[in-house]
Chains A and B, each alone.
Chain A
């Protein structure tokens, strides 16, 4: 039900979010959604923001099919442009908890199935106020049954027919069931607020939003130019203009940055980062713990329907070797749980490490000696094929023969959903609750580990019906303990998300997961 930052198509675009965590150079600010939380990535103090200038930012893009319709956003470039032009009611902080944006506050009734949301006073670029009608129009457009907007699944818990405006700035959302994490829905990927009545053609010719920048020009697959919106509710951006340019090849983005053709390059390779880190020519910003990296075991079929086999696989993995080999060292090891560093993460569980003897013993108990499995992989994401090869060699030491099978990268995610037994997997940043609801419930739409347990579903419902946060945290911990012991995800690492900026770019937040509030947040950036 919770859709998030999955990004379509080409491998290097897919499914990554940055995660919040200690940016190497980040100095301060745990971006809680308030105004002045940018830390200075350059490590040189930064000083007071200077107004003016145009920043050119290079992203991998979607070619001639790109659109500025924020509800169709699916690539990083789409998301970055959408957040410059539009706002959501809420957005994710560095720990992936929802922070108020256009919504000033929200309040639930006792049973958590009715939420009163109050809008702050903000205006669209045409001067009109953002009202409850705009919010309801936007959400109803996303939920249109004839369309397939990405955020539709995220908004599923909302009964939009019963929800209504309670004034120009008040909305009462009626939910289909208790949802303690309702604010996450308001922050969902693609759930942007557009003016009442805006339709498809408006978005590419004259998009009007309430975001920090207003539209100037757009050439799909090439560039988008936006100018500062002086009446932005959170204060006008420092930059005069922001230009998004598209360069799909990583080498082209790096060259453009080195050659002074752009000031910001999104998504660089670890090897590039190493070559330029500390050399003084450009700044490298690492968003630590960004993308979850792992293997997904299908728990409903042999051999992984036996939890001893799953545990054996947990113990086969030499996580550091995987991080060093598949991620070129740009990341940290994982502990078979999603969401390191995020709200509700069960950080107290002991770090698992390789134990081949125990793995062999478990396989023997399970009657799975001389096990042979096929590991699905594809060039869909950086490091996938490398991870598969490394894990194959590690498994051989425990007597398990892994046959690596390469799949098509354009249809990989769909192919591995139902077929095969174990596959390479990765995920961008999203709240842990979203990870669970999308992937680990009986009726989840993308349950790649086929984790179907009624008692686990019940725990999730219990968490969603628990108002007290401490109690809720305890329920999430119980769920994570279970996943740690016998789940289907072998999470071996979390990859850094790497950006490059010119020396004069200040105010780039390093503690900002991709697609979270402070990621690609150009209204807080300035040119020194």
Chain B
């Protein structure tokens, strides 16, 4: 009796527990880091009296478990707490950072799916022939280039040498849509590796499926090639691709620090980086909750998609 509803419920319950575990772990790790927010704020003026005063003003002199409980109690009311460093609500940090991150992720995924699947199908259709060879080797090659290297290369060529595109999004703030040209290079960098991995997965899945006895049988029945490919073979390739896609979306939504830093896009990755450097525990925890929930939901979604397309694969809860 494992209907889709009880499957979803079990997964959500498990996901909730996982998120709590992540938050606890993040809290423990942040506490374990050398120095605290007061030390980080004092910087190179580590006057002990001043550090003590900052610590007191931030209520860091209270035991760790008390601070965690207070924060958890607030979270139950949807209150993420306030930043130690600025005193502003953590929710504004998340809202402000989420906009640019979400925008980049949406554009990237919108382009990623047709590109990745299309390339994969193209390669699979021409398995072993020059088209396949070219697609396979190019995707492998591009996949091997780290984001920062590709980013620097693209900026140098397209922004600084040719002057076609702006090198960064500096000064545009959250109004990135108002400056679409500034989004081209970051999206290209974000697309580069996921397109390759997705295309290779789709290709592999389709090649397997096209070799399978049921496709051979379908062909013997005289079903047209296109229908065999897209209605029978492709769905089998989608299952692993969906999981990969979920991981990619998760990666995108948690803020890709390298791209944000290189192109000056103030997204969630930047918020997280700053918060950790400042030992701003409430902000780090708030982000941990958001990232945890996102990961759980995305993986659940991917499992449901995989379940729908390839029920026999038997997705374990």
Provide the residues of chain A in CB contact with B163, threshold 8 Å: 259
Q: Please tell me which stretch of A25-33, A165-173, A215-223, A350-358 contacts chain B, meaning at least 4 of its Cβ atoms lie within 8 angstroms of it.
A: A215-223
Q: Does B271 contact A (CB under 8 A)?
A: yes
Provide the residues of chain A in CB contact with B33, threshold 8 Å: 408, 410
| Contact (Cβ within 8 A) B264 A249 | yes
| Contact (Cβ within 8 A) B160 A65 | no
> CB < 8 Å: which of B48, B274, B275 contacts A445?
B48
Q: Please tell me which stretch of B168-176, B225-233, B234-242 contacts chain A, meaning at least 4 of its Cβ atoms lie within 8 angstroms of it.
A: B168-176
Q: Does B211 contact A (CB under 8 A)?
A: no
Q: Please tell me which stretch of A240-248, A388-396, A454-462, A500-508 contacts chain B, meaning at least 4 of its Cβ atoms lie within 8 angstroms of it.
A: A240-248
Q: Does A147 contact B (CB under 8 A)?
A: yes
Question: Total interface residues on A, using CB and 8 Å?
Answer: 55
Provide the residues of chain A in CB contact with B270, threshold 8 Å: 63, 221, 248
Provide the residues of chain B in CB contact with A245, threshold 8 Å: 170-171, 264
- Distance in angstroms between the alpha carbons of A111 and B122 in the assembled complex: 89
Query: Given A56-B171, A261-B166, A410–B266 Cβ distance below 8 Å?
Result: no
Q: How far is the CB of B267 from chain A (nearest CB, A)?
A: 11
Q: Does A105 contact B (CB under 8 A)?
A: no
Q: How far is the CB of B166 from chain A (nearest CB, A)?
A: 6
> CB < 8 Å: which of A74, A148, A408, A417 contacts B46?
A417
| Contact (Cβ within 8 A) A223 B171 | yes
Question: Total interface residues on B, using CB and 8 Å?
Answer: 54
| Contact (Cβ within 8 A) A64 B97 | yes
- Distance in angstroms between the alpha carbons of A258 and B26 in the assembled complex: 40
| Contact (Cβ within 8 A) A148 B34 | no
Q: Does B131 contact A (CB under 8 A)?
A: no
| Contact (Cβ within 8 A) B34 A415 | yes
| Nearest opposing residue in chain B for A64, CB measure | B93
Q: Does A362 contact B (CB under 8 A)?
A: no
Q: Does B51 contact A (CB under 8 A)?
A: yes
Provide the residues of chain B in CB contact with A262, threshold 8 Å: 170-171
The residue in A56, A248, A415 that gathers the most chain B C-beta atoms within 10 A of its C-beta is A248
Instruction: Give a binary string over B47-73; 1 marks a CB under 8 Å from any A CB, 0 the rest.
Output: 111110110010000000000000000
Q: Does B310 contact A (CB under 8 A)?
A: no
Query: Given A8-B40, A148-B57, A261-B168, A446–B278 Cβ distance below 8 Å?
Result: no
Provide the residues of chain A in CB contact with B49, threshold 8 Å: 445
Provide the residues of chain B in CB contact with A63, threshold 8 Å: 270-271, 273-275, 278
Q: How far is the CB of A229 from chain B (nearest CB, A)?
A: 22
Q: Does B127 contact A (CB under 8 A)?
A: no
Q: Does B277 contact A (CB under 8 A)?
A: yes
| Nearest opposing residue in chain B for A249, CB measure | B261
Provide the residues of chain A in CB contact with B146, threshold 8 Å: none
Q: Does A299 contact B (CB under 8 A)?
A: no
> CB < 8 Å: which of B34, B43, B266 contacts A9?
B43
| Contact (Cβ within 8 A) A446 B262 | no
Q: From residue 153 to 200 of chain B, which have CB atoms closer than 8 A to chain A? A: 155, 159-160, 163, 166-168, 170-171, 173-174
Q: A153-B45, A252-B170, A259-B163 are in contact. List 14 more A-B contacts (CB 8 A).
A: A9-B43, A65-B88, A65-B280, A148-B50, A148-B54, A245-B170, A252-B168, A252-B261, A256-B264, A259-B166, A259-B168, A262-B170, A408-B33, A445-B49
Task: Kindly list the 9 A-B residue pairs having the minimum CB-CB distance in the complex, ordered from nearest.
Answer: A411-B35, A8-B43, A63-B274, A445-B47, A414-B46, A255-B167, A259-B167, A65-B86, A65-B85
Could you list some 19 contacts between A and B, CB below 8 A? Answer: A8-B41, A15-B43, A63-B271, A64-B83, A64-B92, A64-B97, A64-B271, A222-B171, A252-B168, A256-B167, A258-B160, A259-B166, A259-B168, A410-B35, A410-B278, A411-B39, A414-B39, A414-B42, A415-B34
